[in-house]
Amino acid sequence: MVPRHTSKSSAVSGAHATGAALQPEASVYRVALLGFGTVGRSVAKILCERALPSLRLTHIYNRNIERKKIAGLPADICWTENFDEVLGAGVDLVVEVVGGLEPAGQWVRRALEHGKSVVTANKQLIAHRGVELLEVARACGQQLYFGASVAGGIPVLSGLQEGLAGDQLYKVCGILNGTCNYILSQVENAGIPFAVALREAQQAGFAEADPTDDVDGYDARAKLAILAYAGLNTQVQLDQILCRSIREVDAVDFTYAHQVNCTIRQISRAEVHGNQLLAAVQPALVPFESPLARVLGSQNLVVATGQYGAETVFSGYGAGGNPTAVAIVSDLLAIAQRSPARHAGAPTPITARKVSADFTTPHYVRFTVSDRPGIIAALATIFAKHGINIDAIFQKTGFPKDQLAFVITLESCPAAVMNQALAEIEALDFHVRQPLHLPVLR
């Protein structure tokens, strides 16, 4: 049970909507905020501006706190650099928005052990240690909510575990990283190289100075692991999920993709097949008719597929201080209002499954070669050896002979078979660049 503090003021929130008589007292939950960066400031703003009767921000913890203080917040908020002061201050709910595994992991654990429920937006912490920390929360009779850890302000996790609880979900697929989607949209629409689009994204504030986690898929991989746990009841280790970069995607790939009525997006997907979970984060061709193809800029989108309810789509702006803060405050309210525990503390049945990336799909392969007779024949021979049928060959004019780019699309085959064929193909001596291989979503 979460401890409560009771104010002496009358409760008015919700009375007009329900027609209920005003209560003489309102339960007020004292909230401590760990971290005061972009998201932390937005959380504080919402808590103070909305004046939510059940929540009161009482403590803000951050290093070098004097440099973080801002005007406009209530004067009675305690600003501190001492985490032990937070633990001993009669706080009920702790919000962690510092990020990273440590010291955030120890702070979350200690808060739970000291009888305080926790709300976090820390995707890496939940992806690596979420199951462990949920067990700590249950043992201590507290709640751990992490709705903001995937897709920011889009209520994906609550939608999967509450809104779709009556279905049997077997697949989640989506665009989980707004930075990658912004970069690929720029490459597609402006026809510029990846490196230029990345630099523009950094200048616009969409990409970090070190964009590795985003463009190489590690950010989306952590979110996919959380979705697999929350939606597919499967615990997966991050290193079990195939993770491929978008760095090699260039403007010419969009030209060729458009010829087969597709675009290219970074796609995160996990799918249950009996006792196996197929999971991967990688750039892929997406048909124009798919909702994934219509996600532009820094938006996110998740499609959940169930046995009974078919496809349900969640979309919106996932990143940024305000959307993420909305998800955090929503989780705080869920705890304060005694909503049934969802991704928060209720035991979730976990099914042990083997994890693989061996999806069966059509494939797109872009080759860049030093042209000479017999190249297509050599490629066709290897594909035929592995039982892979060629669907079509595309070659634009205008490329120099020593940098000739052309594309072969292939009929459906398992990724493992495709990888075996590509390993042989990459050993041939006419390549100028390593072939770019992308699955084609169906």
Q: What is the mean pLDDT of each run of 10 residues along the chain (442 residues)?
A: 37 29 58 94 94 93 87 90 91 95 96 96 95 95 94 88 92 95 94 94 87 96 96 94 97 96 98 96 97 88 95 84 90 81 51 92 97 96 98 91 95 98 97 97 91
Last residue of a domain, one of 86, 116, 145: 145
Catalytic one among 45, 68, 223, 401?
223
- Strand 262-273 and strand 169-175: the pairing is antiparallel
Interacting residues of 18 by C-beta distance below 8 A, sequence separation 6+ = none
Residue 66 has a pLDDT of 83
Q: Which 8-state DSSP code applies to residue 10?
A: P
Other CB atoms within 10 A of residue 48 CB = 16
What is the reported pLDDT for 25? 38
pTM of the predicted model, to two decimals? 0.88
Question: Which structural domain range is residue 165 located in?
Answer: 156-317+350-356
Residue 349: what pLDDT? 64
pLDDT at residue 64, rounded to an integer: 86
Calpha distance 426→424 (Å, rounded): 6
Active-site residue flag, 223: yes
Domain match, 185 and 216 both: yes
Rounded to an integer, what distance in angstroms lies between the CA atom of residue 357 and that of residue 284? 13
The verdict on residue 326 lying in a domain is no
User: How confident is the model at residue 21, as a pLDDT?
Assistant: 30
Residue 343 within any structural domain of the chain: no
Are 12 and 136 members of one domain? yes
Q: Does residue 97 sit within a domain?
A: yes
> Do 169 and 29 lie in a common domain?
no
CA–CA gap between residue 405 and residue 414 (Å, rounded):
25
Same domain membership, residue 368 and residue 311: no
Domain boundary, last residue among 356, 377, 406: 356
* Domain membership flag for residue 170: yes
Q: Residue 60: what pLDDT? A: 96
Structure tokens at 403: 């940098």
Per-residue pLDDT at 223:
96
132 & 260 share domain? no
Nearby residues of 121 by Cβ (< 8 Å), 6 or more positions away: 39, 96, 97, 99, 146, 148, 149, 152, 324, 327, 328
Tell me the C-alpha distance between 138 and 418, whole Å.
45
Give Cβ neighbours of residue 332 (< 8 Å, ≥ 6 apart). 29, 31, 47, 55, 93, 95, 119, 145
The reply to whether 56 and 199 lie within a common domain is no
How many domains is the chain built from?
3
One domain for residues 118 and 172 = no
Both 85 and 186 in a single domain? no
Query: Which of helix, strand or coil describes residue 275?
Result: coil
Per 3-state DSSP, what percentage of the chain is helix, strand, and coil (rounded to 5)? 35, 25, 35
Final residue belonging to a domain, choices 118, 145, 172: 145
Q: Which of 420, 356, 358 is nearest to 388 (CA)?
A: 420
